[in-house]
């Protein structure tokens, strides 16, 4: 009986201590318990927030699955009204009609190098379109034969093949006995239109269209198309004197 009583008292004492520990564990002494609870809440939050973000992204993606990005827009170009006037430089052996919204200056740059102004090396400038038609005149003679001039013009035109989508050669023959070839260059080439004109005996003229901007087929297409029509008028009315 004595051992039983001692065991009972010992059990009661152990149970009491267990209850006290349990009470401390649950209450945490006021601070430890709050720390445990906060830690658990933060852990759960860290798990839930990313999961909710993933669900939201999947939801938005499914709602906008048919979304198509808008094509890149370019500034609208206002083209001038087409009107032409005769251009007849007194020191050059040719004349032609040009747009009234252009001006002509002497060309002083050749392949990036400054040169002495040559009377019949001209720039037909389109100020509102930021473009220029370079005209280079050469006299056919023993030191500058027609075959060489045509070959040089051909090489300069096909110099752009690395960035060109295509190059079409179009024969030129107008009512004034002027013949030549027009090179229509497609793609992001530095010059989309080049040509040469000759009478096969005395005169040779090479022309090339350039814009003072980075080549871009999409943005420049309307401007190139507009200037091409003006160039056709120039070639149609071109005459040797």
Q: Are 181 and 134 within one domain? A: yes
pLDDT beyond 60 at 80: yes
Q: Are 125 and 235 within one domain? A: yes
Domain finish residue from 63, 78, 96: 63
* Average predicted confidence (pLDDT) for the chain: 78
The pLDDT-based confidence of 213 (bands split at 50, 70, 90) is: confident
In angstroms, the CA 20 to CA 27 distance is 10
- Is position 69 within any domain? no
pLDDT of residue 161: 63
- Is position 80 within any domain? no
Looking at beta carbons, which pairs linking 173-178 to residues 24 or more positions away fall under 8 Å?
A: 174/235, 174/236, 174/237, 174/238, 175/236, 176/237, 176/238, 176/239, 176/240, 177/240, 178/235, 178/238, 178/239, 178/240
pLDDT of residue 236: 98
How far CA 216 is from CA of 6, 136, 187, 211, 221, in Å, comes to: 101, 26, 8, 10, 8
Q: Whose CA is closest to 180, among 194, 192, 191?
A: 194
pLDDT of residue 58: 54
State which residues form the domain around 141.
Answer: 86-240
Q: Total structural domains in the chain?
A: 2
pLDDT of residue 31: 42
Query: Residue 118 belongs to a domain with what CATH number?
Result: 3.40.1000
Q: Kindly state the average pLDDT of the residues 121-126.
A: 96
Highest mean pLDDT among 37-41, 71-75, 143-147: 143-147
**Regarding predicted confidence, which is higher, 218 or 42?**
218
Q: Write out the two tokens for 118.
A: 């040559």
**Regarding predicted confidence, which is higher, 128 or 164?**
128
The dihedral region occupied by 209, where left means phi > 0, alpha psi between -120 and 50, and beta the remainder, is: beta
pLDDT of residue 105: 95
In angstroms, the CA 227 to CA 146 distance is 28
Q: Write out the two tokens for 99.
A: 């747009």
**Regarding predicted confidence, which is higher, 171 or 33?**
171
Q: Are 166 and 50 within one domain? A: no
**Regarding predicted confidence, which is higher, 95 or 49?**
95
Q: Kindly state the average pLDDT of the residues 175-202.
A: 94
pLDDT of residue 74: 57
Q: Kindly state the average pLDDT of the residues 176-191.
A: 92
Q: Are 221 and 165 within one domain? A: yes
Domain finish residue from 48, 63, 78: 63
Q: Write out the two tokens for 29.
A: 């002494």
pLDDT of residue 217: 77
Q: Are 172 and 128 within one domain? A: yes
Q: Whose CA is closest to 188, among 209, 212, 160?
A: 160
């Amino acid at each position: 009986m004595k051992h039983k009583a001692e065991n009972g008292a010992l059990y009661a004492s152990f149970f009491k201590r267990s209850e006290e520990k349990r009470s401390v564990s649950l209450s945490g002494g006021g601070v430890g318990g709050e720390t445990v609870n906060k830690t658990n809440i933060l852990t759960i939050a860290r798990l839930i927030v990313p999961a909710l973000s993933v669900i939201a992204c999947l939801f938005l993606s499914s709602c906008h699955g048919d979304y198509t990005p808008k094509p890149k827009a370019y500034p609208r170009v206002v083209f001038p009204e087409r009107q032409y006037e005769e251009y007849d430089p007194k020191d050059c052996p040719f004349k032609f009609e040009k747009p009234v919204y252009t001006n002509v200056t002497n060309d002083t740059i050749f392949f990036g190098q400054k040169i002495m102004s040559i009377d019949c090396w001209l720039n037909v400038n389109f100020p509102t379109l930021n473009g220029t038609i370079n005209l280079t005149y050469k006299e056919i003679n023993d030191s500058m034969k027609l075959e060489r001039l045509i070959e040089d013009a051909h090489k300069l035109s096909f110099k752009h093949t690395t960035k060109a989508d295509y190059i079409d050669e179009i024969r030129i023959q107008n009512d004034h006995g002027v013949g030549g070839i027009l090179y229509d260059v497609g793609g992001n080439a530095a010059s989309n239109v080049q040509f040469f004109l000759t009478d096969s005996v005395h005169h040779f003229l090479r022309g090339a269209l350039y814009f003072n901007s980075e080549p871009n087929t999409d943005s420049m297409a309307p401007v190139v198309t507009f200037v091409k029509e003006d160039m056709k008028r120039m070639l149609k009315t071109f005459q040797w004197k």
